[in-house]
Amino acid sequence: MTGTFEIGAEDFLLDGKPHRVLAGALHYFRVHPSEWADRIRKARLMGLNTIETYVAWNAHEPVRGQWDATGVNDLGAFLDAVAAEGMHAIVRPGPYICAEWHNGGLPAWLTALPGVELRRKNSVYLAEVETYLRRVYEIVAPRQISLGGPVVLVQIENEYGAYGSDKAYLAELVRITRDAGITVPLTTVDQPEPQMLRDGSLPGLHLTGSFGSRASERLATLREHQPTGPLMCSEFWDGWFDWWGGVHHTTSASDAANELDALLAAGASVSIYMFHGGTNFGLTNGANHKGRYLPIVTSYDYGAPLDERGDPTEKYWAFRDVISRYAPVPAESIEARPPSPEVSVALEGLGDWLPAGLGSSVESAEPLSFDSLGHAGALMYYTAELGAAAGRHRLVVGEARDRAWIEIDGVPSARLDRIASEVAASVPGGEQLSILVEERGRVNYGQRLGEIKGLIGPVTVDDRGIGPWWNTPVDLGAVATWATSALAAPSSGRAAWRGTWSLPEATDLFLDTTTLGSGCAVVNGFLLGRYNRTGPQRTLYVPSGVVNAGENTLVIIELDEIEEPRVRFVGEANLGPTVE
C-alpha cells in the first residue's frame, strides 16, 4: 500500500496527517540476519514506529569493485523485515558513518587512493562515492513509502559540520541522491552547536540534532537554525561505547528516560541511538584518537535498551513507560529467556598458525603499508635480513600501527604497542628480523580518518637502516580453515587451538575469554571478533544463527599466550567493570 511522507510547517506529515517519528537505531550489519526479525519486533513492542540504520560501505565493498549485498549485508532483506513488522525505516548511507565502525565506514582501498581527499568535492573521491550511493539507492529507492515500502527519510552525510564545510560537496550528494530516484525528504544531523549546524547543512535539507542530554536547551538551538518543520533528535545518545584497556560504560536508565521525556514533551521526534547496538563481528571495530589511540571493543552493547543478546534491560522498560505517555504502546508481552547454556570445552593445540595464513610476498626497500598493498586484513608479516653480531642491539621503528611482535631468527624477542607509545626495543643479534604487525581498528572520527596501517617510517638497528623487506599479508580466513583440519602439534605462545562440543539445539552463547591472551575466535567458520586480556570485555557473543544443533567447532587464533587449554561458554555477557 503506497503512502506519502512529507515535512509540514510544524510536523512530519504521514498521508497528510501530523506524525511523530519514534525511531530506534539498529544496524543490520551488526546483527546476525537470523536475529533481525526478533530485534525489530522488540522495537515495535517498546513503542517505536521506525527503525533507523546506517549503511556501512566497507562492509558491502571491502575490495574495490566487489559489491556484496547478501547475508549480513542484505540491506534489502532488512528493510523488508522492517516493513513486515509494520514499521517505517530511515536510511543513513553516509558515505561516512562514524558509528565506532572501522574507518568510519569508508573502505580502506578508498582512503588509500592517490589524490583522494575525503568528505569534500574531490573528483577522485566523488567518482567512487557516486558509484557506491547509486548501488545503495538501487536497493532503497523501490522501498520508499510512495512505492509501498517502509523508507520515509534518507540522511545526507553524517555530522558533517564537525568535520568540514564544503557546501559544494553536500550539493553533489544531494544531486546523486535525487538522480537515483530518492524522493522522500532528506535530512542532515549535527550536534546542536551553531557553527556545526551552519557548516553541515544546505537549504532544502531538514536539520536534525545529535545529543543525549540538556534536551530543552539543545532543541532551542536547533530551532534557531531550523525555524520551521518538526524538531528531531535523530541521534539520542542513550549510552556509550567501550575501548580496550578501559571500562564498560553505562548510563542511568532513569536519567536517560527523563531526557527522552523532555524531548517528547517538547513535541520532538526522536531516533534512539542505540536501540540495540549488536556486535562488531569479525574485524569491524573502529578506533578513536583524540591524542591517544583507543581501539573499540568487539561488543557494541552501548548500554542500549536491548542488550547484546537481544534481551530487554531496565532502560527498555523505562523508555517504554515514557513513550506510553505520548503514543500507543502494544500490549504484547516479551517472554523472559533463560541464561545461555554453560559448556566447558577442552582445547587441542595445533601449533603456530602463521604459515597457514601467509600469502604472496612483495619485496621493497622499506616496509610497505597495508594500504599500499591493498590488504584489508588485520595482520601483515614483515621480514628483513638483520645481520647483527652477538649482543644486544637497539631496534627503532618509526611507528607500529598498531601492535608489533618482533622475532629474531624465529625466536620471540620484543613487542611494540602503539597505545603505550613504544617505538624502540632491545633485541639480540641474529640473521633475520621478523615483525608481525596487527591493525587493531581504523580511526572512525576526526582528521585521522583514513590513516595508513603497518610499519610506518624507517626501521633501524643501531641507527643503521636495514632491507630489503619482504611484506606478506596474512589471511585469517585461511588460518581458520586450516585449523579445522590441522593435526595437533606442540603449542605455546602464538598458536591455534581447536575445541568441539555438542548442543541439543541452536542457541545463543557467550564465550568466556578470561583465560585467553589476545587474538580472535571463530565458531563454525564465523569470525566472532577480537578478544584481549586488557578488557574490559570478557565474553564474546555467539548468535544462535551460527550455532549448530549437534557438533560445533571453536577455533582460537592466539597472538600471545593462553593460560590453560580449556575455555567455557557462560550464561551471560561479562563486559567488564562499569562506570556511568
Each residue of 217-236: pLDDT tens digit? Answer: 999 999 999 999 999 999 99
Predicted confidence (pLDDT) at residue 149 exceeds the cutoff of 70: yes
Does 188 or 490 have the greater pLDDT score? 188
Predicted confidence (pLDDT) at residue 386 exceeds the cutoff of 70: yes
* CATH ID of 343-351+476-579, from 3.40.440.10, 2.60.120.260, 1.20.120.330, 3.40.640.10: 2.60.120.260
Q: What is the pLDDT of residue 420?
A: 85
Q: What is the pLDDT of residue 123?
A: 98
pLDDT digits over 420-432, tens only? 888 899 999 999 9
Q: Exposure pattern of 341-371 as b/e (b: 16+ CB <10 Å)?
A: bebebebbbbbebbebbeeeeeebebbbbbb
Q: What is the pLDDT of residue 580?
A: 64
Residue with cell 587474538: 519
pLDDT-wise least confident of 106-110, 138-142, 163-167, 486-490:
486-490
Neighbours of 172 (CB within 10 A): 18
Predicted confidence (pLDDT) at residue 369 exceeds the cutoff of 90: yes
Predicted confidence (pLDDT) at residue 337 exceeds the cutoff of 90: yes
Pairing of strands 186-190, 206-211: parallel
* Mean pLDDT to the nearest integer, 49-53: 99
Q: What is the pLDDT of residue 578?
A: 87
- Ramachandran angles phi, psi of 108, nearest 5°: -65, -30
Predicted confidence (pLDDT) at residue 482 exceeds the cutoff of 70: yes
- Residues of the chain by 3-state class (helix, strand, coil), percent to 5: 25, 35, 40
Predicted confidence (pLDDT) at residue 33 exceeds the cutoff of 70: yes
Domain boundaries, the chain: 20-324, 343-351+476-579, 360-474
Q: What is the pLDDT of residue 421?
A: 83
Q: What is the pLDDT of residue 278?
A: 98
**Residue 159 appears among annotated catalytic residues:** yes
Predicted confidence (pLDDT) at residue 579 exceeds the cutoff of 90: no
* Mean pLDDT to the nearest integer, 524-539: 97
Q: At 172, is the pLDDT very low, low, confident or very high (cuts 50, 70, 90)?
A: very high
* Catalytic-role residue among 159, 172, 259, 439: 159
The residue type of 188 is: T
What are 35's three cell numbers? 536475529
Predicted confidence (pLDDT) at residue 457 exceeds the cutoff of 90: no
Predicted confidence (pLDDT) at residue 341 exceeds the cutoff of 80: yes
**CATH T-level topology, domain 360-474:** Jelly Rolls (2.60.120)
* 343-351+476-579 and 360-474 agree in CATH topology: yes
* Mean pLDDT to the nearest integer, 307-315: 98
Which residues, including other chains, have CB under 8 Å from residue 516's CB and lie 6 or more apart?
531, 533, 556, 558, 562, 563, 567
Q: What is the torsional sign of CA 194, 189, 64, 450?
A: positive
**Residue 235 appears among annotated catalytic residues:** yes
**Percent above pLDDT 90 for the chain:** 97
* Mean pLDDT to the nearest integer, 250-279: 97
> Where is 432: in which H helix or E strand?
strand 424-438
Q: What is the pLDDT of residue 368?
A: 97
Mean pLDDT rounded to a whole number for the chain: 97
Do 196 and 225 meet the contact criterion of CB atoms below 8 Å apart?
no
Q: What is the pLDDT of residue 373?
A: 95
Specify which residues 271 forms β-bridges with: 23
Query: At how many degrees (to 10) do helices 75-84 and 123-140 cross?
Result: 40
Q: At 492, is the pLDDT very low, low, confident or very high (cuts 50, 70, 90)?
A: confident
**CATH T-level topology, domain 20-324:** TIM Barrel (3.20.20)
Do 439 and 391 meet the contact criterion of CB atoms below 8 Å apart?
no
* Catalytic-role residue among 235, 407, 439, 558: 235
